[in-house]
Amino acid sequence: MEQTLTISIQDYLKNIYELTENGESASTNALASKLNVKPASVTGMVQKLASAKPALVEYQKHQGVTLTDDGKKAALEVIRHHRLLEAWLVQTLGYSWDEVHAEAEKLEHVISEDFERRIAAAMGHPLRDPHGELIPTADLQMPLDDSTPLSSLRANQSGTVQYVKAADAELLKHFETLGLIPEAELEVTGYSPFDHNLTIKIGRKSIVLGLNITSKIYVKES
Amino acid sequence: MEQTLTISIQDYLKNIYELTENGESASTNALASKLNVKPASVTGMVQKLASAKPALVEYQKHQGVTLTDDGKKAALEVIRHHRLLEAWLVQTLGYSWDEVHAEAEKLEHVISEDFERRIAAAMGHPLRDPHGELIPTADLQMPLDDSTPLSSLRANQSGTVQYVKAADAELLKHFETLGLIPEAELEVTGYSPFDHNLTIKIGRKSIVLGLNITSKIYVKES
DNA sequence: CTTTAAATTTAGCCTTGACTAAATTTATTT
DNA sequence: AAATAAATTTAGTCAAGGCTAAATTTAAAG
Ligand SMILES: [Mn+2]
Ligand SMILES: [Mn+2]
Ligand SMILES: [Mn+2]
Ligand SMILES: [Mn+2]
């Protein structure tokens, strides 16, 4: 039942999961650019995943893909590996949060379930990875996310950073120098409707952030 | 220069290294059975490795293969990864020496050089893996091995176990129950020339071991 | 020196998962 | 509604790295 999926398939499923978290289906083009692969290749793979038994995705020509329950399970397994590994690399080998992603990206596909259990136990079953992202549980449920993008807050609203959604090392370093890390408290003091810039107060500083940033910072309003 | 070799190629090189440590060349059949692949597949791959630039193996039809300097470098890189990983898994995650091999076999191909450095440093640059096998140095030299197989000792010779050459979990567990682990001291008290059995005293026990075992235990005579 | 056996190589085929170029479908504009 | 643009799919290739079956080479025996 749990035959081992190829690394490519694992990556497709993980990326489909991420693109469909919002409820929409994942388009061929979006998947292609996320996977660094040509759209034609995506069509081919997606057709295969749809006709696999059991099917891993739901697919209608020109309508994009979504995950079946089996596909979602497989995706969450990879995501759990990835996030546990990130946490573990930071906690035991002193990686910084901008260095872990690439390493976890490769390890996620080859560790055993035993390895997964051991690092989870060694860290006391952490709930979040170094970026604050929720780690799927051992029985492959994604915990409820009670945060919203910072970009959805307006003047006088304040909150606590829950997680940052970014893999790029440079961007993560930038977030860090701004103090935009999990647990950070911030308050929105201004909003510019034309460019969607937000002015926020964080620590003793006041900074202006564009949508490119605010859409990647997830906060819990307080 | 250091293009990334495929996992298959890394495994071929590692296994060729192991088969040629004794100075002889590795035969197609031996390589095939070690890699769990058919002889025809080995021929194909070996031809490719020989005509790669730079060549990774030296190969003459029907004469078996040996590693070139480049091939040996690549093999030692994989072996260093493997053995450091085994040590790391035992020291930090509580794996037993019979569980580490399979995990290291997969991880060895995907960890970065940075990861390698970090675990080596975290362990204080260990010289041997959990089985006592020597770990190639960071600059990819294999340290000198001053041990001989237990099978080459005779009555009244004694020594200290340096390492055991085995990957099979059952065999390793058996070695452990016999006390045949690195650092163990033993003395040969008898030799049976017909079946090559050795009688050895280890701890307070006296046991008789067949060639299948004594050829896999490497000791330093004392 | 032949014959037989064992080892190795060759030839042809298969699966994965990419790619390019061409065809098609859907969406957007005029 | 027609034309253009954007997105997607189809068709045909390719490289890796396996496999089987057949051919060949080397080694062993009589
Ligand atoms: Mn990946
Ligand atoms: Mn993360
Ligand atoms: Mn391997
Ligand atoms: Mn070992």
Domain CATH number, residue A25: 1.10.10.10
| 3 state SS of B218 | strand
* A54 part of a folded domain: yes
- CA–C1' gap, B109 and C13, in angstroms: 29
* A119 part of a folded domain: no
Task: Provide the pLDDT for residue B20.
Answer: 97
Q: Please provide the average confidence, as pLDDT, over all residues in chain A.
A: 96
* A85 part of a folded domain: no
What CATH number did the domain enclosing B197 receive?
A: 2.30.30.90
Identify whether the C-beta of residue A79 lies closer than 8 Å to the C-beta of residue A131. no
H-only helix segments in A154-204: 169-178
List beta partners, residue A163.
A218
pLDDT average, residue stretch A19-25: 95
In the structure, what pLDDT confidence band is assigned to residue A1 with cuts at 50, 70 and 90?
very low
B1: pLDDT strictly greater than 50? no
Identify whether the C-beta of residue B111 lies closer than 8 Å to the C-beta of residue B103. no
pLDDT average, residue stretch B103-132: 98
Residue count (chain B)? 222
B194: pLDDT strictly greater than 90? no
Task: Provide the pLDDT for residue A4.
Answer: 87
> A172: domain range?
148-221
Is A102's CB within 8 Å of B93's CB?
no
Task: Provide the pLDDT for residue B2.
Answer: 56
Terminal CA-CA length for chain B: 45
End position of a domain, from candidates A46, A67, A88: A67
Is B114's CB within 8 Å of A99's CB?
yes
List beta partners, residue B187.
B158, B201
Mutation target vs B (from A103, A108, A113; most B CBs, 10 A cutoff): A103
- Radius of gyration over alpha carbons of chain B, in Å? 19
> Where are the extended beta strands (E) located within chain A?
57-59, 65-67, 148-149, 158-164, 185-192, 197-202, 205-209, 217-221
Residues of B with a Cβ under 8 Å from any A Cβ are 92-95, 99, 102-103, 106-107, 109-112, 114-115, 118-119, 122
- CA–C1' gap, A218 and D10, in angstroms: 41
Is B112's CB within 8 Å of A95's CB?
no
| Helix, strand, coil percent content, chain B, rounded in steps of 5 | 45, 20, 40
* A19 part of a folded domain: yes
- State the count of interchain CB pairs (< 8 A) between A and B: 41
A192: pLDDT strictly greater than 80? yes
pLDDT digits (tens, 9 = 90+) for A194-204: 899 999 999 99
Ligand 1 center from residue A110 Cα (angstroms): 10
Q: How far apart are CA B133 and CA B31, in angstroms?
A: 21
* B183 part of a folded domain: yes
Residue B217: both structure tokens together: 């235990």
| 3 state SS of B206 | strand
A2: pLDDT strictly greater than 80? no
Of A95, A107, A119, the CB nearest to B93: A119
Annotate B150-162 with DSSP letters as a single string. Answer: GGG--TT-EEEEE
Q: Is the pTM of this model over 0.85?
A: yes
A138: pLDDT strictly greater than 70? yes
- Residue B152's Cβ-side half-sphere holds a number of Cα atoms within 13 Å equal to 10
DSSP for residue A24: S
Q: How far apart are CA B58 and CA B49, in angstroms?
A: 8
Task: Provide the pLDDT for residue B39.
Answer: 97
In the structure, what pLDDT confidence band is assigned to residue B12 with cuts at 50, 70 and 90?
very high
End position of a domain, from candidates B67, B95, B112: B67
Task: Provide the pLDDT for residue B218.
Answer: 98
Q: Peptide bond preceding A136: is omega within 30 degrees of 0, i.e. cis?
A: no
- Four-residue CA torsion sign, B41, B45, B50, B51: positive
Residue A54: both structure tokens together: 């059991």
Identify whether the C-beta of residue A106 lies closer than 8 Å to the C-beta of residue B110. yes
* B36 part of a folded domain: yes
DSSP for residue B52: S
Neighbouring C-beta atoms of residue A128, cutoff 10 Å:
16
- Residue A187's Cβ-side half-sphere holds a number of Cα atoms within 13 Å equal to 7
* B117 part of a folded domain: no
In the structure, what pLDDT confidence band is assigned to residue B4 with cuts at 50, 70 and 90?
confident
Domain count, chain B: 2
A17: pLDDT strictly greater than 50? yes
Nearest to B19 by CA among B9, B29, B4, B7: B29
* B44 part of a folded domain: yes
Nearest CA in chain B to A116: B93
End position of a domain, from candidates A67, A92, A110: A67
Is B122's CB within 8 Å of A95's CB?
no
